[in-house]
């Protein structure tokens, strides 16, 4: 295993997946999180979100000075985008481009700009492992001139580097890692202890590692910490993460 090194002292951002509702139903803690996070990854309708929710989420992010990214998904509302599909690179590019285009309409409405892209759920995992599929995501990001949020050491990072697309590596505090460094995706969210989330951030900053589910110490590089909005207790988790960042990397 590669030797871990302490996280560099660039101040990490906090990001959250938002706008994950449909119709009258809301599944997240967006209003509270918008007071804490730096980046909002807005659902674009394929796994969650609809026009009214997208518009309201963008408006809320603008009001709080939160930068906005697109959170495109597989076309799977029934499974919340957490079931893998067999797709060609051309199909992936089309579905990402379609969803990003939808979001940009609401960004224009509210006087905001697209800041980044972050694939959702199973699409995130699929393009992490398949450079050809990741090329499709990077192509859209390049056209808009924005960064991609993803996992260090995967096709997310490698393809972005090859194409000259800015890349922002993420740390997850409300999902577990397996021994190979992959995320363990659950179909339904679970509660996360805010103290444990803070400890993960502190370890990653101090030692450059995180502990996998089986106890393996994994090297970890990151520039942003993800806190999912749809998990119970997410605002408390986000505040604990922010406090851990403040304690280790004070604002300049």
CATH number at residue 139: 3.20.20.370
Res 3: pLDDT: 44
Q: Could you report the per-residue pLDDT of 51-90, keeping only the tens digit for each? A: 999 999 999 999 999 999 999 999 998 888 889 999 999 9
Q: Cα–Cα distances in Å, from 18 out to 99, 166, 221? A: 15, 22, 24
- Residue 30 domain flag: yes
d(CA 95, CA 137): 10
**Which of 185, 194, 196 is closest to 232 using CA atoms?**
194
**Which of 191, 170, 184 is closest to 69 using CA atoms?**
170
- Residue 55 domain flag: yes
Residue 6 three-state SS? coil
Per-residue pLDDT tens listing for the chain (252 residues): 344 556 556 899 999 999 999 988 888 899 999 999 999 999 999 999 999 999 999 999 999 999 999 999 999 988 888 899 999 999 999 999 999 999 999 999 999 999 999 999 999 999 999 999 999 999 999 999 999 999 999 999 999 999 999 999 999 999 999 999 999 877 676 789 999 999 999 999 999 999 999 999 999 999 999 999 988 899 999 999 999 999 999 876
Res 190: pLDDT: 76
- Residue 201 domain flag: no
What number of CA atoms fall less than 13 Å from residue 201's CA on the CB side?
Answer: 32
Res 4: pLDDT: 56
- Residue 141 domain flag: yes
Res 1: pLDDT: 38
Mean pLDDT of the chain: 93
Total domains present in the chain: 1
- Residue 181 domain flag: no
d(CA 58, CA 90): 28
Cβ neighbour number for residue 183 with a 10 Å cutoff: 16
Res 7: pLDDT: 54
Beta strand extents in 37-182 (DSSP E only): 39-43, 67-71, 114-117, 147-150, 167-172, 176-177
d(CA 171, CA 250): 19
Terminal-residue alpha carbon distance, the chain: 34
DSSP lists the bridge partners of residue 14 as 225
Residue 146 structural domain: 13-172+222-228
Res 10: pLDDT: 86
Taking the whole predicted model, whether its pTM rises above 0.85 is answered as: yes
Res 197: pLDDT: 97
- Residue 191 domain flag: no
d(CA 242, CA 252): 15
- Residue 241 domain flag: no
Res 78: pLDDT: 87
């Amino acid at each position: 295993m590669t030797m871990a090194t302490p996280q560099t002292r660039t101040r990490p951002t906090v990001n959250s997946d938002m706008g994950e509702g449909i119709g009258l139903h809301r599944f997240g803690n967006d209003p509270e999180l918008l007071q804490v996070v730096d980046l909002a990854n807005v659902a674009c309708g394929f796994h969650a979100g609809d026009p009214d929710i997208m518009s309201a989420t963008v408006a809320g992010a603008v009001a709080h000075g939160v930068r906005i990214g697109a959170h495109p998904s597989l076309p799977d509302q029934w499974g919340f985008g957490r079931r893998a599909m067999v797709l060609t690179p051309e199909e992936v590019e089309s579905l990402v481009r379609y969803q990003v285009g939808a979001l940009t309409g609401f960004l224009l409405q509210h006087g905001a700009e697209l800041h980044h892209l972050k694939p959702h759920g199973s699409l995130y995992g699929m393009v992490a492992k398949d450079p050809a599929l990741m090329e499709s995501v990077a192509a859209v990001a390049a056209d808009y001139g924005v960064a991609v949020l993803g996992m260090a050491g995967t096709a997310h990072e490698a393809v972005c580097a090859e194409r000259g697309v800015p890349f922002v590596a993420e740390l997850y505090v409300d999902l577990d890692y397996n021994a190979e460094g992959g995320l363990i995706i659950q179909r339904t969210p679970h509660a996360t202890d805010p103290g444990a989330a803070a400890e993960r951030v502190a370890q990653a900053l101090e030692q450059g590692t995180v502990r996998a589910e089986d106890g393996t110490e994994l090297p970890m590089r990151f520039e942003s910490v993800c806190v999912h909005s749809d998990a119970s207790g997410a605002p408390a988790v986000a505040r604990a993460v922010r406090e851990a960042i403040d304690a280790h990397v004070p604002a300049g």
